[in-house]
Structure 1
Amino acid sequence: MSRRTVLLSVTAAVAVLGGAGTFALAYAGEQPPTLEHSTARYTAPLGDRDGSLVFTTDATASSGVTDVKVLAWPADSSFAEKDLTVKEMAAAEPATCEPSGGDTVRCTYTVAVTGADAAESPRGLWHVAVLARAGDGSTTLDTKATRFTVG
């Protein structure tokens, strides 16, 4: 092979690889938010003292996380037959999010559970649905991010 052929081959390879790398970086920037380390802790009310539901998750998006919505739902509800939608989750309650490094925020949702709430709530397995929205408008919906039991 001549030097000219080798030089042209190397130049073409660099151009192709460089273009693929640029595409990969652009594509990575358009990824929807990710949710990790989702946990729920349910504490039943006791006597005249309220209980609580505390949900936490780490949300990450390269364009920033603009909001996180949370909805707890009983496993034997209509949502088990027909999954929640982004539109339905838009009306859910917001979590409070604080930066936790890089493009990640730690989001917490806390709600008090009164004795009356607990008496009216179905017993058994519950799921927590989470909708995360990024600054670029992309969303991630996890209808079963975590679960807890109401006893």
Structure 2
Amino acid sequence: MSRRMALSVAAGAVVLVGAGAYALAYAGEQPPALTHSTARYTAPEGGRDGSLTFTTSVTASSGVKNVKVLAWPQNSSFAKNKLTAEDMAAVESAVCKPFKKHTSNCVYTIKTSASDAASSPRGVWHIAVLATARNGTTTLNAKAADFIVR
């Protein structure tokens, strides 16, 4: 192998290693990803409370720090004025448990009384989710799942 060729191969290897390091660093800064999001609403009936249960899987390379959940009716002001991370700051958090190395399964459950259900708007509701990774990156999905209040 000639000296020129050996230098070219060495330079190419350095470029590839540098590109790989950049790709790994960039992958570490990706915002959290939500998958398998579902909502189940059960109306109060016969003196029993109803409930809303939302589940999702959240993947973040640095780990999941927090997942905030908000149910909102389709005909609310959030439909016109887009929901923001600031709107989600004071809402309740889901309970998240590690599932795989970078993934947590998160569940949010709330009871619904008959009086709550009677005063709630009928129709389609959406679940908004703000997921925050340990490295501070966030993902806001204003319509992660839907359910219907009849």
| TM-score scaled by length of structure 2 | 0.97
| TM-score scaled by length of structure 1 | 0.96
Return the alpha-carbon distance in structure 1 between the equivalents of residues 76 and 87 of structure 2.
Answer: 15
Return the alpha-carbon distance in structure 1 between the equivalents of residues 59 and 30 of structure 2.
Answer: 10
Return the alpha-carbon distance in structure 2 between the equivalents of residues 28 and 22 of structure 1.
Answer: 10
The residue correspondences of 1:5-84 to structure 2 (distance < 5 A) are 5-84=4-83
Identity of aligned residues (%): 61
- Cα deviation for residue 31 of structure 1 reads 1.0
Gaps of at least 5 residues in structure 2 are: none
Return the alpha-carbon distance in structure 2 between the equivalents of residues 56 and 90 of structure 1.
Answer: 19
Q: Deviations over 1:109-134 (max 9, x none)?
A: 00001110110011110000000111
Give the root-mean-square deviation of aligned CA atoms.
Answer: 0.9
Return the alpha-carbon distance in structure 2 between the equivalents of residues 17 and 27 of structure 1.
Answer: 15
Q: Which residue of 2 aligns with 1:128?
A: 127
| Corresponding residue SS for 1:94 | coil
Return the alpha-carbon distance in structure 1 between the equivalents of residues 122 and 5 of structure 2.
Answer: 72
**Equivalenced residues, count:** 150
| Corresponding residue SS for 2:75 | coil
The one-letter code matched in structure 2 to 1:98 is K
2:145 aligned with 1:146, yes or no? yes
Q: Which residue of 2 aligns with 1:88?
A: 87
| Corresponding residue SS for 1:40 | strand
Structure 1 runs (4+) deviating above 2 angstroms are: none
Return the alpha-carbon distance in structure 2 between the equivalents of residues 101 and 27 of structure 1.
Answer: 21
| Corresponding residue SS for 1:48 | coil
Return the alpha-carbon distance in structure 2 between the equivalents of residues 94 and 41 of structure 1.
Answer: 17
